[in-house]
Amino acid sequence: MIRLKLPSSRFAAALLAAAALPLAAGQGFAADTKPSPVAASPLPAIRVVAAERRELVETLAVNGTVVARDEAAAGTDLNGMIVTALNFDIGDMVRKGDVLAVLDRSMLDTQLAQMRATRAQAEASVAQMDAQIADAKVNVKQADEELERAVALQKKAVASKAQLDNAQNAAAGARAKLDTAVKALAASQAQIAVIDAQISGVEVQIDKTELRAPADGLVLARAATVGGVVSPSSGPLFRIAIDAKFELEASVAETALPRLAVGMESAVALPGVAERIDGKVRRIAPEVDQGSRLGLIRIALPKEAPARAGSFARAEIELSRREGVAVPVSAVLYQGETPLLQVVQEGRVATTPVTLGARAAGNVEVLSGVAEGEEVVARAGTFVADGDQVTPVRDVDTTGAVKP
């Protein structure tokens, strides 16, 4: 016999309530079958800027090294000379002709004394030759007179043939001695000329023992030391920046070189100097390096500029300066090689091809296609397309006023 346990009254009430829920829910769904209305989507807010007329200054940024405009080197071609004194150091200003260093000249002084003594001997020899020539001339005169008498006596048949021959031989011998004395005099005079040339050479070398500045300028480097031995292979002992003028030597891409011209203004930033220095392009190299495809230019710096040779520097060269209608570079959209601007007119975007000009400070000149005052999408091509309706958002300044 099976017994069923009936549920309690509380449990039965719960079951009845659960059975009634589906019916109530079904009734509720049937009553709410009408759909709610959908809200209209707002137009996208797009930042726009107006094409404005402004001054466009197009520049080219370059980097380089400060160098001396022109350098002068002071060295010596004397070999084995010892430096005895140094009168100038690095950073000193010198004048042309100033004695930079002094070399030991004792050996050259000795050579000069010997040569002057040799010259004195040669001068004595010349004096001796002069005396011999005078004596020889007297002998020649006497021999000629004897020969004339012998010829006269021979004609009168008083003198013998032997006497005539002796007179002739004596005259010829006297002339030979005179000729020898004259040649000896010429040799002694030539020797004096050689000695004089040697003396001049030694005097030049002695003058070179005082190493002089070849030009006015600033001493950049000094390789000489007191007691050091110098030679031609030692290289320059002093390097001088002529007139203390410095320039920025910079490398420029070959594609930018045709836009540069001598005399263009530039603003140069030197290390450690807060304010930029005015400079001018002085020289543009006519040759481009075949490996790097770069060409060198020189930007002249003012003489009072605190420039130091070898330091790094930057410059911005002014390529052009003019007024024109411009928009931000970010507003330009490209289709292939054609530049486009997305013009916003009455809340609708219209893509317009334009002709661009100079670029400067994040702006680009618009030569045609967009007029002054027209509004364009500030960052083109990102969110909108041609024909889209948008809500223009203009720049607002710090006071909350909308910029025109």
Is 199 in the same domain as 347?
no
Is 284 in the same domain as 140?
no
Task: Report the percent of the chain where pLDDT is more than 70.
Answer: 86
Domain-embedded: residue 199: yes
Domain-embedded: residue 115: yes
Region 354-373: mean pLDDT is 86
Domain-embedded: residue 19: no
**Tokens representing residue 359 in the block:** 């670029």
Region 101-126: mean pLDDT is 91
Interacting residues of 128 by C-beta distance below 8 A, sequence separation 6+: none
List pLDDT tens digits, range 54-105: 888 888 999 999 999 999 999 998 888 899 999 999 999 999 999 999 999 9
Is 133 in the same domain as 200?
yes
Taking the C-alpha atoms of residue 110 and residue 105, their distance in angstroms, rounded to an integer, is 9
How many domains, in total, are found in the chain?
A: 4
**Per-residue confidence at 134, pLDDT binned at 50, 70, 90?**
confident
Would you state the pLDDT for residue 323? 86
Taking the C-alpha atoms of residue 53 and residue 47, their distance in angstroms, rounded to an integer, is 19
CATH number, residue 382: 2.40.420.20
Is 113 in the same domain as 194?
yes
Query: Which residue type, as a one-letter code, is found at position 79?
Result: N
Whether 285 has a pLDDT exceeding 50, the answer reads yes
**Per-residue confidence at 394, pLDDT binned at 50, 70, 90?**
confident
Higher pLDDT, 228 or 21: 228
Taking the C-alpha atoms of residue 297 and residue 312, their distance in angstroms, rounded to an integer, is 15
Would you state the pLDDT for residue 101? 95
Handedness of CA 253, 255, 258, 260 (dihedral sign): negative
**Tokens representing residue 100 in the block:** 């930079």
| Averaged pLDDT score across all residues of the chain | 82
Whether 255 has a pLDDT exceeding 70, the answer reads yes
Domain-embedded: residue 200: yes
Q: How many CB atoms lie within 10 A of CB 94?
A: 23
List pLDDT tens digits, range 193-234: 999 999 999 999 999 999 999 999 999 999 999 999 988 888
- CB half-sphere exposure, 53, CA atoms < 13 A: 6
Last residue of a domain, one of 321, 347, 381: 321
Would you state the pLDDT for residue 59? 86
List pLDDT tens digits, range 335-353: 888 888 888 888 888 888 9
Task: Give the end-to-end CA distance of the chain in Å, rounded to a whole number.
Answer: 99
Would you state the pLDDT for residue 257? 93
Is 261 in the same domain as 301?
yes
Would you state the pLDDT for residue 7? 44
Taking the C-alpha atoms of residue 114 and residue 116, their distance in angstroms, rounded to an integer, is 5
Angle at which helix 161-208 crosses helix 106-155, to 10 degrees, equals 170
**Per-residue confidence at 22, pLDDT binned at 50, 70, 90?**
very low
Taking the C-alpha atoms of residue 85 and residue 260, their distance in angstroms, rounded to an integer, is 48
Domain-embedded: residue 123: yes
Q: What's the pTM value of the predicted model, to 2 decimals?
A: 0.62
Domain-embedded: residue 168: yes
Would you state the pLDDT for residue 6? 38
Domain-embedded: residue 5: no
Taking the C-alpha atoms of residue 311 and residue 309, their distance in angstroms, rounded to an integer, is 6
Measured at the CA of 239, the angle between CA 235 and CA 240, to 5 degrees, comes to 155
CATH number, residue 222: 2.40.50.100
Is 373 in the same domain as 343?
yes
Last residue of a domain, one of 321, 336, 371: 321
Whether 31 has a pLDDT exceeding 80, the answer reads no
**Per-residue confidence at 144, pLDDT binned at 50, 70, 90?**
confident
Is 259 in the same domain as 284?
yes
Is 95 in the same domain as 215?
yes
Last residue of a domain, one of 321, 351, 368: 321
Strand ranges, E, within 69-176: 71-74, 81-86, 93-94, 99-103
> Nearest Cα to 351, choosing from 334, 365, 373?
334
Is 81 in the same domain as 217?
yes
Region 42-50: mean pLDDT is 83
Strand ranges, E, within 143-228: 210-212, 217-222
Domain-embedded: residue 124: yes
List pLDDT tens digits, range 158-175: 667 777 778 788 888 888
Q: Give the DSSP per-residue string, 28-90.
A: HHHHT-SPPPPPPPPPPEEEEEE-EEEEEEEEEEEEEEEEESSEEEE----SSEEEEEE---T
**Per-residue confidence at 302, pLDDT binned at 50, 70, 90?**
very high
Q: Coil, strand, or helix at residue 227?
A: coil
Is 348 in the same domain as 219?
no
Q: Coil, strand, or helix at residue 16?
A: helix
- The range of the structural domain enclosing residue 365 comes to 48-56+323-393
Would you state the pLDDT for residue 36? 52
Is 377 in the same domain as 228?
no
Name the burial class of residue 377, with classes exposed (0-12), middle (13-18) and buried (19+) by CB atoms within 10 angstroms of its CB.
buried
